[in-house]
Amino acid sequence: MYIRDIKLNKPINKKSYLYNLPISRYLMEHPSLPISDNVTFLVGENGTGKSTLIEAIAVAYGFNAEGGTRNFNFSTNNSHSELFEHIVIAKSKQPKDGFFLRAESFYNTASYIDKVYEGEQNSYGGISLHAQSHGESFLSLVQNRFGGDGIYILDEPEAALSPMRLLTLMAEIDILVKKNSQFIIATHSPILLAFPNAKIYEFSENSIASVSYKETEHYKLTQLFLENPDNILKYLLDN
């Protein structure tokens, strides 16, 4: 694949919040974090550093911090962390295509696309992404802009998608994987995590571990809730 692994190549100051992130401790204790599968998921609780890592990988690879291709050069809020300065990415080959898609700043990316391609036919579906619903614009971008032979880095794509549209996204990922593409995805979605043969790294406060789909806390908690919704709600809400 296009990315083999990531390594720490510059010490992190102990006074920085980055120093205590699970990914920082992992890279200080291990030679590298392998990311060489067609699809790699980063999953775990809020605050464990998944999005920080996905952002650092994207920026270190040359993508715009707020999303887009490596040719996008806009900036509306310079808030990304400095983790990208501390890692080095081992690359296997050069992709023909690539995109960094993050839910948090997708509005800014869509605005930039509208500005650049105003009045022109483009590879984003021919309809302004702002003229579609959030979920429709996400899928339109994947279906029309992602061409294969590429590296695609996605940060919480489920934020805009219904369960049915998540299944559509999985089908699109499968098509692109069969076109020699690589995906690195930070997600909370137990549906998306079910993608076959994916590598899953589960982040916790103390560690990062490679786990199977049914070993993830997201799967276990979702299964528990769906099998016992009344009991769980009674436990949570009964005063």
Residue 126 pLDDT grade (very low, low, confident, very high; cuts 50, 70, 90): low
pLDDT at 117: 61
Burial class (CB in 10 A: 0-12, 13-18, 19+), 64: buried
pLDDT at 238: 79
Rg of the Cα trace of the chain?
18
CA distance 110 to 35: 28
Cβ-based neighbour number of residue 48 at 10 Å: 21
Residue 133 pLDDT grade (very low, low, confident, very high; cuts 50, 70, 90): low
pLDDT at 106: 62
Mean residue pLDDT of the chain comes to: 86
> 66, 76 in Cβ contact below 8 A?
yes
pTM confidence score: 0.88
> Can you list the domains of the chain with their CATH numbers?
3-109+148-237 (3.40.50.300)
Decide if pLDDT at 185 tops 60: yes
Residue 131 pLDDT grade (very low, low, confident, very high; cuts 50, 70, 90): low
Return the axis-axis angle of helices 134-145 and 163-177, rounded to nearest 10°.
10
25-83 pLDDT tens trace: 999 999 999 999 999 999 998 888 898 999 999 999 999 888 887 877 666 566 568 89
Residue 136 pLDDT grade (very low, low, confident, very high; cuts 50, 70, 90): confident
pLDDT at 32: 94
Would you give the DSSP letter of residue 197?
Answer: T
pLDDT at 206: 81
pLDDT at 49: 86
CA distance 147 to 166: 19
Specify the length of the chain in residues. 239
pLDDT at 219: 96
188-213 pLDDT tens trace: 999 999 999 999 999 988 889 999 99
Burial class (CB in 10 A: 0-12, 13-18, 19+), 169: buried
* Strand partners for 151: 98, 182
CA-closest candidate to residue 58, choices 74, 69, 42: 69
164-175 pLDDT tens trace: 999 999 999 999
pLDDT at 194: 97
